Structure 1
């Protein structure tokens, strides 16, 4: 089966006519190709921060749950995910089965003793962290470090995290760092982490350095916003004050990061899975241009992971919409076609 899509392709908005030659786009016409959809074309959506495969925090990885979560992503138009932390080592079909997204992952989280979610991740002494992270990155390309935890947990020291980054880079990998403290965020940036995950309470003075050294920010803005009402209902205390102050300032931080030239990535960190549209809306609501908010969940995120867009030779992923989603982000919730690896996995005939 050879499929065909045509229409205006983002980000440039020019008309393209593409054929899927297996799992690669081509502009060479193919006789009897099935015209699946035409409209506004995106090179597939990306959720750059998701943890599929566990029914609840701390649960072990369940292969049936994993497949269900991945299908929810695809139904939302997500053709690529990055999982900076999984509840266990994924099965061989993860990221390659035809009906599931392409996937990048960091294996289990790496954390200091006494921190992070019980049942998830590996705890390690500071002396062990660089070698553990490098071994993980050598296998999968990424390592994920819990740089700080809760409002008062001590962050990973700068010399330790710097050693982790050097060790991972030496094997050709990249480091994602979870941080929600001002101190932990500073350590992540000064250590040269490749991506800051969440970044709540990050000092805005660090944004210029992030842009210069290529440290991306995955703010997971929508899940933080959803947590605010629940946290407000808790008794007063330092943890409540810390979270509410950071979460309420997070949108302004994201807008400032985009303005400073930091690469912002859209990630949901959410249950249920498949909530990427809500994250794009949150980024735009925080002050990012709709074009840039969409880039964070599509062509720019794909480029960050080394994937080209809608061009000859690129992987044959696409999402097709009836209208320009930059003019109406609600379009994102209603794709007329989702193409994954050259196959139509969702088509709404009009």
Structure 2
């Protein structure tokens, strides 16, 4: 196997980088015959922290061929690590491990209350059953994903139930991600101490300091929500239409204030097409998040949150190289000079 060498400037720190791929780990030990990839500005791989690959239509079962194709789209965009907080089924053994697909963490199928979430997807349980179900999932994969609330007028999972879920999941060494798009559901999730809040529209801004203090991350999936505005605006007036449009209208401001409060932001794209992480970074920056933090949400910050180090000896041998500093031109994200995954040049 060819040994790769990366050299340039680390975007996260501004420090020079000169590393060699010793299999799937970076090292500073020189290898005279190493192949030098194009020099430039370096990221330790991009991260999509909220993606659901492996299906064509909502409610479809997990399709392994589609799953691999979607993961290839992620890699082609520079994504070397994904978090899938909910899948259409249990993934195959090669998910996250084969050399041509991103590293991955996942929460298995979604977990929801009876009568909520998309038909054909996820596991339904009573409030009494939810803590054990979530803990069992987290024990297998490290994460459990709960649908805390769903459509306008639906009841959210009560805070005492969410607390029990968090306690049980943390007891097995796992973490809890929670979908919320209602004020009451978001409040319950934060008060319960969940590890990450997904979407978070209608979240009370008064909870942001608490989120920062207790380490609850926010994955705002801003770009897909904004992209949905023209489609939803064209629909007839309804409670659901008004709820969506008002929540999304306030979301960019909430995300900017969350960044100011020190909440960990994670970049996630949520839906088709895959490989759109650059659009999410631009949406975060467009909302007022500083470009450095917006890029970190899709790279070094997200990797650290998910337990992976960056461009340093002993870290996984992932990197993306750009011709110029992407913080000064976020469109650079669409044009990587090289993508390295597990010590191999993929692009």
TM-score (norm 1): 0.98
Whether the 8 Å CA contact 1:46–1:80 is kept in 2: the answer is yes
The residue that corresponds to 1:345 in the other structure is 346
User: What's the counterpart of residue 261 of structure 2?
Assistant: 260
Aligned to 2:10: 9
Q: Residue 233 of structure 2 aligns with which residue?
A: 232
Partner of 2:276: 275
2:242 — aligned with what? 241
Q: How does 1:194-205 map to 2 (within 5 A)?
A: 194-205=195-206
**Equivalent in the alignment of 1:222:** 223
Deviations 1:200-254 (Å, cap 9, x if unpaired)?
Answer: 0000000000000000000000000011111111111211111111001100000
Which deviations, in whole Å up to 9, do the C-alpha atoms of 1:53-109 show, x marking residues without a partner?
Answer: 111111000000000000000000000000000000000000000010000000000
Look up the SS of the partner of 1:6 in the other structure.
strand
Confirm or deny that 1:44 pairs with 2:34: no
Write the distance in 2 (CA, Å) between the matches of 1:289 and 1:134: 36
- Report the 3-state secondary structure (helix = DSSP H, G, I; strand = E; otherwise coil) of the residue aligned with 1:4: strand
Cα distance in 2 between the residues matched to 1:10 and 1:38 = 13
SS at 1:310 equivalent: coil
* CA distance in 2 between partners of 1:116 and 1:237 (Å): 19
Post-superposition CA distance 1:142-174 (Å, at most 9, x none) = 000000001111100111111000000000000
Cα distance between partner residues in 1 of 2:176 and 2:153: 23
Divergent runs of 4+, >6 A: none
Gapped regions of structure 2 (runs ≥ 5): none
Deviation sequence 1:278-317 (CA, Å, 0-9, x none): 0000000000000000000000000000110100000000
Is 1:4–1:37's contact at 8 Å kept on the other side of the alignment? no
Partner of 2:74: 73
Q: Let me know the Cα RMSD of the aligned residues.
A: 0.5
- 1:261 Cα shift? 0.4
Aligned residue for 1:213? Answer: 214
* Residue in structure 2 matched with residue 307 of structure 1 by the alignment: 308
1:294 corresponds to 2:291: no
Q: Which residue of 2 aligns with 1:133?
A: 134
CA contact under 8 A between 1:79 and 1:340: conserved in structure 2? yes
What is residue 285 of structure 1 aligned with on the other side? 286
Rounded to whole Å, the distance in 1 between the matches of 2:267 and 2:43 is 15
Aligned equivalents of 1:151, 1:277: Cα separation in 2: 31
Larger displacement relative to structure 2 (273-282 or 27-36): 27-36
Q: Distance in 1 between matches of 2:115 and 2:254?
A: 29
Cα distance in 2, alignment partners of residues 112 and 258 from structure 1 = 31
Alpha-carbon distance in 1 for matches of 2:6, 2:96: 24
CA drift at 1:10: 2.1
Instruction: Indicate the SS of the match to 2:37.
Output: strand
- Aligned partner of 2:324 in structure 1 is 323
Unaligned runs of 5+ in 1: none
Q: What residue is the counterpart of 1:93 in the other structure?
A: 94
Q: Per-residue displacement from partner, 1:98-137 (whole Å, max 9, x unpaired)?
A: 0100000000000000000000000001110000000000
Instruction: Tell me, yes or no, if the aligned pair for 1:181 and 1:200 is still in contact at 8 Å.
Output: yes
Measure, in 2, the Cα distance between the counterparts of 1:160 and 1:233.
38
CA distance in 1, matches of 2:112, 2:18: 48
Q: In the alignment, which residue of structure 2 is the partner of 1:103?
A: 104
2:147 & 2:38 partners in 1: Cα distance? 43
Q: Across the two proteins, how many residue pairs are aligned to each other?
A: 346
